[in-house]
Amino acid sequence: MTAISLVFVNGRIRTGDVRRPIADAIAVSGRELALVGSGAEVRKLAGAGAKVVDLRGAAVRGVPTDAVLRRGAPASFVVLESGDGGKELIRVIDGAIVAVQNSK
């Protein structure tokens, strides 16, 4: 596995897993999701070199919209300000942040 490059914490992530339908953190390794889980799990896996983004409770949706966010899935998703219908704050495609909308 490629080293963890990006970590997103304090979000609301639908996992598609009936045992754990909601997670709050994502670790990105290369172009894939290395882990979708708790903030503690993701930070432990990431180590000191990863960039950490605090989502401040924002919802995360897969791209395309029906994509399931789980380990091994493509690291393509959007972060939304308020639920699934909110304003897009961050867009990640293939493991890279490609767009950021600053909001106050």
pLDDT in tens, 1-26: 578 889 999 999 888 888 988 999 99
Write the CA distances from 75 to 37, 62, 103, 104, integer angstroms: 14, 9, 23, 26
pLDDT, tens digit, 9 for 90 and up, residues 64-99:
766 778 888 888 888 877 655 567 778 888 888 886
**What is the structure's pLDDT at 23?**
93
Question: What does CATH list as the number for 4-100?
Answer: 2.30.40.10
**Domain boundary assignment for the chain:** 4-100
Mean pLDDT over residues 44-58, rounded? 87
CA gap 61, 76 in Å, rounded: 9
pLDDT at 40: 92
Question: 9-36 burial string, b = 16+ CB within 10 Å, else e?
Answer: bebbbbbeeeeeeebbbbbbbeebbbbb
